[in-house]
Amino acid sequence: MEFDFSPIFENWRYLRDGLLITISLSVLSIIAASILGGAIGLARVYGPRWLAGVLAFYVDSARSIPALVVLIWMYFAFPLMVGISLPPFWAAFIALSAYIAAYISEIVRGGVLSIRSGQTRAAKALGMSQNQTILKIILPQAVVRILPQYGNMLSITVKNSAICSVIAVPDYLQNSGIVAAQTYRPLEIYTVALIVYIAMILPLTRSTDWLYSRLSHLGRS
C-alpha cells in the first residue's frame, strides 16, 4: 500500500478553515458552558430550594440524553418551536454549551460541597457575609479541587465538536470527510485528522494536570 499525503497539502487551506471552525466552536462552547455551569452549580448549593429543584431536573435531564440527540434537536426541532432558524454553527454552539454546562455544574457543586462546613461557620464568626465567604474562602479552594475534572470536560468538549458535522457545521472533520471523498484517500486524511485532534486535546489535559500539581496544596483544608 502506497501512502499519498499530497491531497492534504493541496487542500491545506480548506482543512485549515475547518480547523479554525473547530477551535472557535470549542473555545466559545467551553467559555459559555463554564459560565453557565458555574452559575448553576452555585445556585444549587446556595439558591432557594425551589430553584435547586428546577436546576437539578435540568442537569439530570441533560446528562440522560446523548450529545448527538441534543445537537440534532437544537438544529431541527427547536427552530420549529420558536419560529427562528439557527445557522449550523450557532445551533451547535448552543447545544454543546447547554450540554457541557450540566456536567460542569456538577463538578462545581461537588467542589463547593467538598469544603468543610466548619470553614463557613468560622467565616461567619469573623463577620464575613455569605458572598465574601463564597468568593474568598470557598471558591479559591473549590476551583483548585475541580481542575482535574474540569480538564476532562475541556477534552470532551473538543471531541464533541466533531459530531457537529452531522448538521453541516464546516468543521475540521466535515472538511476532512469531503476531501477524503473527493481524493479517495481516506486513510491519509483521517490519519492526519487523528493526529490533529491529539495535538489539540493532549495539551489541554496535560496543562490542567500540571496546573493542578502546582496548586493542589491550595485546595487542601
Question: What is the tens place of the pLDDT at every residue in 100-113?
Answer: 999 999 999 999 99
Residues 6 or more apart in contact with residue 65 via CB below 8 angstroms: 99
Read out DSSP for 167-201? GT---HHHHHHHHHHHHT-HHHHHHHHHHHHHHHH
pTM of the model as a whole: 0.92
Cα(124)–Cα(141) distance, rounded to whole angstroms?
17
pLDDT of residue 63: 94
Counts for the chain of helices (H) and strands (E), in that order: 12, 0
Q: pLDDT (tens digit, 9 = 90+) per residue, 13-29?
A: 999 999 999 999 999 99
pLDDT of residue 221: 63
pLDDT of residue 126: 84
pLDDT of residue 124: 85
The secondary structure of residue 166, as a DSSP letter, is: G
CATH superfamily of this structure's domain 6-219: MetI-like (1.10.3720.10)
CB-CB contact of 108 with 41 (8 Å) = yes
Q: Measured in whole angstroms, how far is the alpha carbon of residue 128 from the centre of its chain?
A: 34
Q: Which residues of the chain have pLDDT under 70?
A: 1, 219, 221
User: CA triplet 137, 109, 78: central angle to 5 degrees?
Assistant: 135
3-class DSSP assignment, residue 157: helix
